[in-house]
């Protein structure tokens, strides 16, 4: 079976593994609760004047801001928890369940397998971000209505242009979370315990946010994985400011490159006995699970 035939099937299998688990759907439901509670809170007690964060302030005038406010609230913890759980389970989960030997028997090199797993992590990152934004926007529009989007520069954008900016925000945050996903996948290659890998990845993310909040550590802020996460505000200016967004994309790309390479090198040390390899190939071919 050629690489061209195996990789698409393996990618579909990875997506099914991620989106077919009840625990992941429970996690997605938890992500949805934040925009729901936010809209309810603003409806029950609307912010007065300049009371509250800027995005929350604008929800009552335009429901689209519920999506932006929800993303702002979830980026520091909730979304990183979701991505840490998925990425940390990518290799460690397979090792823990004893299915890693089947993956190692796939007739393509391990780098391509890790690329497929990382691609599935990116898809989940986008889906999670879109779920948060979509829930907030739809519920916000249903409760408060829509209209022109007031930018951070004070100008107004047409409604659909504002929706387009929201999509750009989701894409940017997906790229940022992909950097965390690469870090989590690397940690996942170092252990057979997915819970331990999840905790380690989350500790690194939260530790980065804590260090980013300490002014005395300003010299290293630009190198932290979470430093540019909230730079998506630049996409909500008129005209858009590219400085922070470009820096954020470069930072995320650097983390993907560094920890993706590290994960490939770490996976090269994974070995299975020849007898198990032969049995795994035969079993996988008979079952059609991978081929």
User: What's the predicted TM-score (pTM) here?
Assistant: 0.87
Instruction: pLDDT band for 274, please (50, 70, 90 cuts).
Output: very low
Q: What is the mean pLDDT of residues 276-280?
A: 38
At 119, give phi and psi (nearest 5°). -60, -40
Q: For 39-74, how does the pLDDT look when each residue is reduced to its tens digit (9 = 90+)?
A: 999 999 887 655 545 788 889 889 999 999 999 999
- What is the DSSP code string of 232-272? GGGGGSSSPP-HHHHHHHHHHHHHHHHHHHHHHHHHTT---
Contact criterion met (CB below 8 Å) for 78 and 34: yes
pLDDT reading at 275 higher than 50: no
At residue 149, the 3 state secondary structure works out as strand
Rg (CA), the chain: 21
**Helix residue ranges per DSSP H, the chain:** 3-19, 22-44, 54-58, 65-74, 78-97, 100-104, 110-144, 159-188, 194-212, 243-267, 274-287
Asked whether residue 280 carries a pLDDT value surpassing 80, the answer given is no
Whether pLDDT at 37 is above 80: yes
| Residue 259: CA count within 13 A, CB half-sphere | 24
Which residues are bridge partners to 156 per DSSP? Answer: 150
| Average pLDDT, rounded, for the chain | 85
- CA–CA separation, 161 and 164 (whole Å): 5
**pLDDT tens sequence across 215-243:** 999 999 999 999 999 999 999 999 898 88
Q: What is the pLDDT of residue 247?
A: 96
Range with the poorest average pLDDT among 114-118, 145-149, 271-275? 271-275
Separation between Cα atoms, residue 147 and residue 140, nearest integer Å: 12
Calpha distance 140→34 (Å, rounded): 12
> Which pLDDT score, from 0 to 100, does residue 282 have?
42
Higher model confidence: residue 31 or residue 287?
31
| pLDDT > 70 in the chain, percent | 83
State the pLDDT confidence band at 267, using cuts at 50, 70 and 90.
Answer: confident
pLDDT at 90: 86
Lowest-confidence range among 71-85, 216-230, 265-279? 265-279
The Cα–Cα gap between 119 and 96 comes to 21
What pLDDT score does 91 carry?
Answer: 85
Q: What are phi and psi of 150, to 5 degrees?
A: -80, 120
Angle 112-181-216 from CA coordinates, rounded to 5°: 135
Instruction: Quote the pLDDT of residue 80.
Output: 96
pLDDT of residue 99: 60
Compute the Cα dihedral for 14, 16, 21, 26 and give only its sign: positive
77: its two tokens: 């913890």
pLDDT band with cut points at 50, 70 and 90 for residue 6: low
Residue 222 per-residue DSSP state: G
Domain boundaries, the chain: 3-287
CA distance 123 to 90: 13
pLDDT at 209 over 90: yes
- How many other CB atoms are found less than 10 A from the CB of residue 44? 7
Percent of the chain predicted with pLDDT > 90: 62
């Amino acid at each position: 079976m050629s690489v061209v035939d195996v990789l698409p099937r393996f990618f579909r299998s990875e997506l099914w593994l991620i989106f077919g688990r009840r625990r992941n759907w429970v996690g997605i439901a938890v992500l949805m609760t934040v925009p729901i509670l936010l809209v309810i809170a603003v409806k029950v007690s609307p912010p007065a004047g300049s009371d509250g964060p800027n995005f929350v302030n604008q929800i009552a005038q335009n429901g689209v801001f519920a999506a932006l406010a929800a993303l702002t609230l979830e980026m520091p913890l909730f979304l990183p928890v979701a991505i840490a759980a998925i990425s940390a389970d990518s290799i460690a989960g397979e090792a823990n369940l004893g299915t890693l030997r089947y993956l190692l028997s796939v007739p393509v090199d391990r780098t391509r397998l890790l690329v497929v797993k990382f691609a599935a992590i990116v898809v989940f990152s986008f889906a999670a971000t879109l779920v948060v934004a979509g829930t907030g926007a739809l519920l916000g529009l249903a409760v408060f209505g829509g209209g022109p989007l007031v930018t951070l520069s004070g100008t107004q954008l047409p409604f659909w242009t504002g929706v387009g900016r929201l999509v750009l925000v989701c894409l940017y945050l997906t790229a940022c979370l992909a950097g965390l996903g690469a870090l989590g996948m690397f940690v996942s290659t170092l252990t057979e315990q997915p819970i331990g890998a999840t905790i380690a990845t989350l500790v690194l993310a939260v530790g980065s946010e804590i260090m980013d909040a300490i002014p005395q550590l300003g010299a290293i802020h630009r190198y932290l994985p979470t430093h540019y996460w909230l730079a998506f505000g630049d996409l909500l200016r008129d005209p858009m400011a590219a400085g922070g967004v470009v820096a954020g994309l470069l930072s995320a790309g650097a983390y993907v490159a560094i920890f993706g390479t590290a994960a490939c090198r770490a996976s090269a040390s994974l070995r299975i006995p020849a007898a198990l390899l032969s049995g795994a190939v035969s079993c996988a071919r008979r079952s059609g699970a991978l081929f």
